[in-house]
Amino acid sequence: MGPKRLRRLLDGFDSREAALIAPAEAWERLGLPSTLARQQPRGDATRVQSMLDWLDRHEHNHLITTADAAYPMLLKTLPDAPAALFARGDARLLQEPQLAIVGSRSPTGGGLANARAFARYLSRQGFVITSGLALGIDAAAHRGALSAHGATIAVMGTGPDVIYPREHLALSEEIVQAGGLLVSEWPPGTQARKEHFPRRNRLISGMAEGVLVVEAGLQSGSLITARLASEQGREVFAIPGSIHNPLSRGAHRLIRDGAKLVETGQDIFEELAASLGARLRQMASDESDLAPDTGNASASSAHPALDPEQQQLLNHLGFDPQSADTLIALSGLTPAEVSSILLMLELAGYVTTLPGGLYMRTV
């Protein structure tokens, strides 16, 4: 039974217990299929016991139903909101204002830097940073919030005890230990399945005040999240990029379709602060770099750590992708020199490689 049918069933009775013991005819009167009503599923006792065992295992393991005060207010308004959420960590975060950050699983270095910077800034302004624990932009968003000692929520397409991808086992533990939250509509023990992740995306957008798309191709699942956010009445933000970067095309399409173009985290904060008002916590900090940090990963054109030839090549590269042959022609350096310098710049984090043998600066 999916969330819409389950909600129809629960809304039709005074209690969950009453719904379970009602005759099949009562289910049919609510519009539920007769085959489903006649089956009257009672649940698998072994599976139910495994859920109870998981809940008893740690005080930070939670089952949150729509009847609980901890259930996210925004999510509850959706017609396909899950009847319950399984969570691990600080469930109080579900009542805090959230900003979702999503994007490509294979981003450029610049995309990763932007995701971290925006998450860090917005976390400091009082937003809980929500994402999907996936590779790439999702992980960068979670880590950006953690770097600011802020809160982050990972919405999962598996059970709350099954970490996917496995590379993020340490990240998931860091999120919980730092006071964050892992949340899923799937019971403990549920393994990753392809069809779970589009459903997961509606939770990411449904719990948040807005969704920021950092980098996304035209076939990216992040565009599904953005579309759901728009349908749910949430704000959609997108960071523009180079017209030559295929990972900018998804964001550019969203902007053409009405998403708000943003260049700094302050753009998002100012857009949402008026409606949220006092719900946002203004996070004071004595860190010297807080004031100029507005969630833009770009830096000045001069980098003292670079030697003159490295700086020259970086200036020629600019923020549009270039081929090595173009850089050789522009700089007057030999092919061997350009290849060596590009490698050093990439290792130092100044440059990232793109498909087709292209290079693009990240700072």
Q: Residue 299: inside a domain, yes or no?
A: no
The structural domain count of the chain equals 3
Q: Residue 318: inside a domain, yes or no?
A: yes
Q: Residue 49: inside a domain, yes or no?
A: no
**244-294 tens-digit pLDDT:** 888 999 999 999 999 999 999 999 999 998 777 655 544 434 333 333 456
- The CA distance from 265 to 9, in Å, is 42
| Structural domain harbouring 24 | 1-42
Spatial contact of 211 and 235, defined as CB atoms under 8 Å apart: yes
3-state secondary structure of 86: strand
Residues 132 and 38 in one domain: no
Residues 160 and 223 in one domain: yes
Residues 193 and 320 in one domain: no
- The CA distance from 65 to 85, in Å, is 6
Beta bridge partners of 88: 61, 182
Q: Is the pLDDT of residue 345 over 50?
A: yes
Q: Residue 14: inside a domain, yes or no?
A: yes
Residues 152 and 240 in one domain: yes
- The CA distance from 354 to 106, in Å, is 10
Q: Residue 157: inside a domain, yes or no?
A: yes
Residue by residue, DSSP assigns 152-201 as EEEE-SS-TTS-SSGGGHHHHHHHHHTT-EEEESSPTTPPP-TTHHHHHH
Residues 247 and 125 in one domain: yes
Higher pLDDT, 176 or 40: 176
For the whole model, what pTM was predicted? 0.81
Residues 268 and 356 in one domain: no
Q: Residue 66: inside a domain, yes or no?
A: no
Residues 165 and 216 in one domain: yes
Q: Residue 23: inside a domain, yes or no?
A: yes
